[in-house]
Structure 1
Amino acid sequence: MTTTSAPPRLLFATYLPFAVGAVSLVTLGAFENRATGTVLPVVADELDGLTLFGAASAAPMITYVVATAVAGALADRGGPTRVLRLGAATFAVGQLLASLAPTMLVFAFGRLLSGFAEAFLDIGLTVLMARALPESLRAKVFATFAAAWVVPSLVGPSVAGLIAEHLGWRWVFLLAVVLLVPSFALLLPSMRRTPVEPLASWDAHQRTVARSAAGAAALLAVVTAAGSLAGTAWVTVALTVMVTAVAGLALLVRRVLPDGTLTGTVGIPAVTASRGLAAAAFGTAGSFLPLMLTTTRGLSPALAGVTLTLTGVFWATGSFVHGLDAVQARFAPTTRLRFGFGAITVGLAGPGLLAVDAIPLVPALVLWSIAGLGMGVASPTLSTQMLRLSKKGEEGANSAASNMAASLSGAVGTALGGALVATRADHLEGWVFAVIIATAVLMGALGFRLAPAAGLRPD
């Protein structure tokens, strides 16, 4: 008589602390993201730093690009434990610096550290998952990551606003440091089981990637700054600088991302490209949807903010469906990616038609919810594919490349869209948003076409 062992479950004592700690850490990051956006106007006003408002907003995005490359190399060379420790320490220092900042410049520097911390925690957590969990459990954890954004998206701004009003905005950042402690403590058992390997020397490729990532971050800062000047008398200079900087980014991307990413080669390159297309499509459209609703439809900021709630709820729903055992067993990655990108492409038609007064608000938001559902399926599929296709010791580099593709494409899409908005700021019409969303739809369609290459394992 033979016996078979029970399939692994997240509730097993070996895996549960990691799962709870990882979800807690993602929830903390989501709260920090939503809370900072809420209190940043108060910070700028109190510190007399409105001129640095944009810099404080963009700072984490810029440093995230550089830190992603560094974190990926460190994780592959010495394991995820060291990366997570550095990420947690940097997060704490960044939050403390922001909470104690006497000037807006110091606050912005704290935000720079937050970008580094986010990258190190993202990469470290992903690589630790690859080492700590069997493949069958990873989709479930990625699903809980999406769900972890729902509550912060719903109540984070309100909680942060109440804290800022009754205790002061500095307590928002101090609270994040306090909440970091139990979240990180739950990861310690898994970290102890993952040895801290001696750091190997940087090879030529890793040095090239790090330098190129630094250059990409600098060019991204230039693109963002130039876009804000597109609505001034310097519009010609601003657009020229933007085009030049984007061209430079395209050249650097070839050094930073896996070979074959720009052509969608089967395997990791196609997965990386798909992450970039998803961010360019859904992320760009989502960035401008609240602005479109307030300017072209006259909605209040509160009502326009409902789009963020819909994004969180339906993204989490899609991720939950993706994580079901029946879905994993019945539908191949290619099928899931086709569904995800198909839903994104169809769903983005809603905001596009809304921009030109072609349909009422409710049907448009229903379509937008479908796009959120598609993103909820596509995103964890790409994450699990990245880990499944990565060789041991390459999870960090591949995770870094995937995150970098999403960060760069989303930032460039937002910057270019922002430049178009800036040129028409005095008389913002629906066609401006229609152009932005039409471009996003094209990115979604390209992702749908690339699904077979991202869903297969190379021969």
Structure 2
Amino acid sequence: MSSVNAPVAPPPRLFSGRHLPLVLGVIGLVTLSALENRAVGTALPTMVREFDALGSFGLANAAPNASFLISLAIAGLWSDRRGPIPTLRTGAIAFTLAQLLVGTASAMPMIVAGRLLSGLAEGLLDVSLMVLVARALPAVLRPKMFSLFAAMWILPSLFGPVLTGVVTEQFGWRWVFLGAVLLIVPSWMLLGPAMRQTLSTPAPERSAEDAAALEAGRAALPWALAASVALFSMTLAGDHLEAHPVIGGIAIVVAVVVLGLAAVRVMPQGTFVARRGFPAVVAVRGLGSAAFASVGAYLPLLLTLQHHFSPSQAGVTLSITGTSWAFGSWLQGREHGIQRVTVLRTGLALMTGGLLVTSLLAWTDASTWFGLIGWAFAGIGMGLNSSSLSVLTLDLSDAGNSGRNSSAAQMAASMSIATALAVSGTLLALNASNPQPWVFGAIITAGAALALVALLTATRVRRPTSA
């Protein structure tokens, strides 16, 4: 009788008093990272001109990609072994030091060093925040939390470049980075309750399988470092391919081989055959990320060269990316009553179709806005599948391996994106004197093909059933 009359506990809410500080703290850190990401693209040209170091532009852009990869490998192991708090604390300190180093730079090497440190901070923060969310929030709230992750890129995507430009013109580019240091303090303070809760929770017991996985992860760290060097080398070689085609081409081939060998050793076993369960999640993450990022990187250039957009007009693709991706992520966080794998496949189908429509910008003289509408649908699809893959990563993980699995999924995305950009960059460099529409058409159509392969692979992300 008492069980019948017992009050029913209200469902957990993301913005309730208990979870609100965590949510606001995470929002603050993600927004800061997004602003920093958008700010660099706007301020960096002014920075290299001031130091008369135009030749270091590519180096400053490539630096965070290289350090991000090794950072992911370290963050996954560290978060599983010691919990997310030490990793998160180190990431926040590294982010602060990176902004100070760039903001007070007296020479270009200091900026490059700051960018390396920024990539290190991003990897530590990304993984530790995912593990913190996994431990501090109930599973039912995770999809909504990951939709917030994407939503926090909307305002930085829309207003970040403009705000950075105003600050750079009125006060100088240094305040773009020094201002971020001031904003990290309140975000860190808001995370305090969730961090104390996590610290007070007993560490999860590790099985023999978990211990073996940790050892394997430590053994893979040198390969993660090799992959980082290969990513850096690919970017540098691509930047100088036109001036030194033979040396640059050889360097790219060697870097791709090293990256492939490293990927086999740092990715979960079964990733390259999309074995059912988490390895398939990693494979889909890599394919989908490469498809979307490789197209997004070249759309502004395509609009400028073929459709005669001004640089500011071509930046509309950045705004479309941020808003459509966030909208797709918001959609996946709603209570839709359908399976997560269905949401994932819907997103990948939208992205495949959207990229095919986007390719019309290169292949035909169709309306520019028709092609951009296709890009918007691709962005919605990316928001649906990216956030769904984050949820599936945690669903297929436990307290002992959520850090390693989160870092593995992000490493797959990072390596596949870099490889796709190196290949597409080589294709463009070989036709740099007079790039024809077919070059961009081939790049965008290849992205659509990768998205289609990801869609076909997505049926394997379910956990394998026991016999």
Shared fold, TM over 0.5: yes
Question: Could you tell me which residue of structure 1 aligns to residue 256 of structure 2?
Answer: 246
Matched, 1:186 2:190: yes
* Structure 2 unmatched ranges of 5 or more: none
Task: Supply the distance in 1 between the matched residues of 2:65 and 2:139 (Cα, whole angstroms).
Answer: 30
Q: Which SS does the other structure have where 1:254 is aligned?
A: helix
Aligned-pair CA distance for 1:198: 9.1
Partner AA of 1:386 in structure 2: T
3-state SS of the aligned residue for 2:272?
coil
CA contact under 8 A between 2:287 and 2:413: conserved in structure 1? yes
What aligned pairs does 1:214-225 form with structure 2 within 5 A after superposition?
214-225=225-236
Residue aligning to 1:83: 87
Deviation at 1:209, TM superposition (A): 2.0
Deviations for 1:307-345, whole angstroms, at most 9, x for unmatched residues? 1111111111111111111x2xx2112211111111111
State the match for 1:106 in structure 2. 110
The residue aligned with 1:331 is 338
What SS does the aligned partner of 1:402 have? Answer: helix
Whole-angstrom distance in 2 between the partners of 1:360 and 1:183: 44
- 1:211 corresponds in structure 2 to 222
CA distance in 2 between partners of 1:365 and 1:164 (Å) = 30
1:365 is aligned, of 348, 351, 372, to 372
Deviation, structure 1 residue 249: 1.1
For 2:36, which of 17, 32, 37 is the aligned residue? 32
Residues 49 and 103, structure 1, Cα contact 8 Å, conserved in 2: no
Unaligned runs of 5+ in 1: none
Q: Give the number of equivalent residue pairs.
A: 455
CA distance in 2, matches of 1:29, 1:245: 28
User: Which aligned runs of 4 or more in structure 1 are off by greater than 6 angstroms?
Assistant: 196-202
Report the 3-state secondary structure (helix = DSSP H, G, I; strand = E; otherwise coil) of the residue aligned with 1:427.
Answer: coil
Q: Which amino acid aligns with 2:350?
A: A
- Indicate the residue corresponding to 2:73 in structure 1: 69
Assess if the C-alpha contact under 8 Å between 1:289 and 1:351 holds in 2: no
Specify whether residues 104 and 185 from structure 1 end up closer, same or farther in structure 2 by C-alpha distance, changes over 3 A only: same
How far apart are residue 237 of structure 1 and its match?
3.1
Counterpart contact for 2:67–2:116, Cα < 8 Å = yes
Q: For the residues of structure 2 that align with 1:225 and 1:438, how far apart are their CA atoms? A: 25
The answer as to 2:437 corresponding to 1:430 is yes
Choose 275-284 or 235-244, whichever is displaced more: 235-244
Do the aligned partners of residues 5 and 214 (structure 1) sit closer, same or farther apart at CA in structure 2, a change above 3 Å counting? Answer: same
Per the alignment, residue 245 of structure 2 pairs with: 235
Q: Assess if the C-alpha contact under 8 Å between 2:58 and 2:239 holds in 1.
A: no
> What per-residue deviation string (whole Å, max 9, x for no partner) do you get for residues 401-457 of structure 1?
011111111111112111111111110111111111121111100110011112445
Identity %: 42
Residue 163 (structure 1) aligned to one of 164, 167, 178: 167
2:297 maps to what in 1?
287
Any idea what the Cα deviations from partners look like across 1:199-222, whole Å, max 9, x if unmatched? 999953122221111000011112
1:282 and 1:37 mapped to 2: Cα distance? 19
Partner in structure 2 of residue 142 of structure 1:
146
Match of 2:453 in 1: 446
- Paired residue for 1:398, among 394, 405, 417? 405
Paired residue type of 1:126 = M
Q: 1:52 to 1:14 in 2, by over 3 A?
A: same
CA distance in 1, matches of 2:377, 2:155: 20
What's the CA shift string for 1:373-415, capped at 9, x where partnerless? 1001001100000001102110100000011111111111112
Q: Distance in 1 between matches of 2:13 and 2:386?
A: 22
Distance (whole Å) between structure 2 residues aligned to residue 25 and residue 454 of structure 1: 30
Q: Aligned Cα RMSD in Å?
A: 1.7
Distance 1:310 1:129 in 2: 28
- Matched AA of 1:406: A
Pair 1:16-2:16 in alignment: no
What displacement does 1:270 show?
0.7
TM-score using structure 2 length: 0.95
Letter of the 2:251 partner, please give it: V
Looking at structure 1, the residues matched to 411 and 465 of structure 2 have their Cα atoms a distance apart, in angstroms, of: 22
Return the offset for 1:458: 5.1
Residues of 1 paired with 2:408 and 2:456: CA distance? 21
Residues 276, 464 of structure 2: 8 Å contact kept: yes
Do the aligned partners of 1:333 and 1:455 also contact (CA within 8 Å) in 2? no
Deviation track 1:170-217 (CA, whole Å, cap 9, x = no partner) reads 111000111111111111110011128899999531222211110000
Report which stretch shifted further, 244-253 or 81-90.
Answer: 244-253
Matched, 1:46 2:50: yes
Counterpart of 2:199 in 1: which secondary structure?
coil
TM-score, normalised on structure 1?
Answer: 0.96
Which letter maps to 1:188? G
SS of residue matched to 2:433? helix
Equivalent position of 1:126 in the other structure: 130
CA contact (8 A) 2:103 2:177 kept: yes
Distance across 2 between alignment mates of 1:203 and 1:338 = 32
Distance 1:386 1:82, change over 3 A: same
What SS does the corresponding residue of 1:12 show, helix, strand or coil?
coil
Q: Counterparts of 1:307 and 1:428 in 2: how far apart (Å)?
A: 20
2:62/2:236 contact within 8 Å kept: no
After superposing the two structures, state which structure 1 stretch, 68-77 or 428-437, moved more: 428-437
